[in-house]
Amino acid sequence: MADVADQDVGTVYVTPAYLARMEYDARRLRATPHRPHHSILAGRHASRLRGRGLNFEEIRAYVPGDDLRHLDWKASSRVGHALVRSYTEERDRPALFVVDQRISMFYGTRRAMKSVVAAELAALGAWMSFQAGDRAGAVVFDDNHIQSIRAHRSRSRVLAVLGALARSNQALRADDPVRINPGQLDAALRAALHLATHDYLVFIVSDFLGADEQTLQLIRELATHNDVVAALVFDPSARSLPDRGKIVVTEGELQVELDFDRKTVREPLSTMFDQRLQETVELVQRCGVPMLAIDTEQPTLLQVAHMLGHFAWRGR
């Protein structure tokens, strides 16, 4: 694994140790907190996430104290005495994190790179799953490779997910000759379909570069038997470019310097970036799954706390 300078950790790159420390942050969040009206999970309608449920276990004789709502009238009439349907609560809710670490994610004009925010978000989710007694797995992908980690309920599996995130993240380089692979998002979703068979929580963290009608179909297939949440990671420059300064944008061997002091450069780029962001948002919303918008400016933990309704949460 490449060496990472201390000043780069959490802004340009992540390390396994950095992501492991997020376990303590995850403890301050609850997966199902009391939800005020301003929480993203609140609303007039029932939640779009299935949540934990009950598994049918057996039909047995009624004993005093059983819930009368569980009486099986048809079975009882056949045998001549009261029978009830016995249920057990689902033991866990496996979570699968599909995390984008392509070269398009290696961009950021504020606090951190999009690739760092995506890794932070997945790490928080993995730790929250572990603390809830659930299984956690991941599909981590860049422009050339896909790492699939089956969900398992153990600390070592969470650490394996964090290690995969860090390795893929630290492989990103501005001077890397790798080309953007828009189709890799669909390939990662196909890998997720092989892992998330039924009743998973699938969390897709990406900038959704290259998303098209095929991407929508894959997400809908995932959502047929699972709960799917899409997290769109974006940089504030997609909404408003700075009024001055210069940045260098690169795609492997090709580098271009953009001078934002020049209005003729700034305004067309601002329009293009904003239009692309809006098109991406509209495309993902058509999937019919909950969508979160996570920016690279605010601390990831605070954004997650905000979305879960933790407005009383106090940072360090």
In a domain, 261, yes or no: yes
Query: Same domain for 78 and 153?
Result: no
In a domain, 289, yes or no: yes
Query: Same domain for 198 and 301?
Result: yes
In a domain, 48, yes or no: no
Q: Which CATH number do you get for residue 241?
A: 3.40.50
Query: Same domain for 61 and 100?
Result: no
244 pLDDT above the threshold of 60: no
Amino acid residing at 124 = L
In a domain, 234, yes or no: yes
Hey, which residues does 232 pair with through a beta bridge? 206, 293
In a domain, 197, yes or no: yes
In a domain, 98, yes or no: yes
Query: Same domain for 70 and 153?
Result: no
Query: Same domain for 28 and 85?
Result: no
In a domain, 313, yes or no: no
The distance from CA 184 to its chain's CA centroid, rounded to whole angstroms, is 17
Query: Same domain for 248 and 263?
Result: yes
Domain-ending residue, one of 72, 89, 106: 89
Q: What angle do CA 204, 275, 215 make, to 5 degrees?
A: 30
Residues 73-125: tens digit of each pLDDT: 888 888 888 888 876 555 568 999 999 999 999 988 889 999 999 999 999 99
Q: What global pTM score does this model have?
A: 0.75
Q: From start to end of the chain, where are the E strands?
A: 54-61, 83-89, 95-100, 136-141, 146-152, 201-206, 227-234, 246-251, 254-259, 291-295
34 pLDDT above the threshold of 70: no
243 pLDDT above the threshold of 90: no
Query: Same domain for 66 and 194?
Result: no
Query: Same domain for 236 and 167?
Result: yes
Amino acid residing at 213 = E
Q: Give the model's pLDDT for residue 141.
A: 98
Specify the higher pLDDT residue, 112 or 277.
112
In a domain, 45, yes or no: no
Q: Quick check: 10 and 116 in contact, CB under 8 A?
A: yes
Query: Same domain for 281 and 173?
Result: yes
Q: How confident is the model at residue 53 (pLDDT cuts 50, 70, 90)?
A: low
Amino acid residing at 66 = D
Amino acid residing at 189 = L
DSSP-based three-state secondary structure for 90: coil
147 pLDDT above the threshold of 70: yes
Domain that holds residue 62: 54-89
Query: Same domain for 129 and 274?
Result: yes
As for how many domains the chain has, the answer is 2
Q: How confident is the model at residue 218 (pLDDT cuts 50, 70, 90)?
A: very high
Least confident of 112-121, 266-275, 279-288: 266-275
Maximum average pLDDT range among 67-71, 163-167, 231-235, 259-263: 163-167
Query: Same domain for 179 and 295?
Result: yes
Query: Same domain for 229 and 196?
Result: yes
Sorted by sequence, the CB contacts under 8 Å of residue 203 that are 6+ apart come out as 95, 96, 97, 98, 122, 125, 228, 229, 231
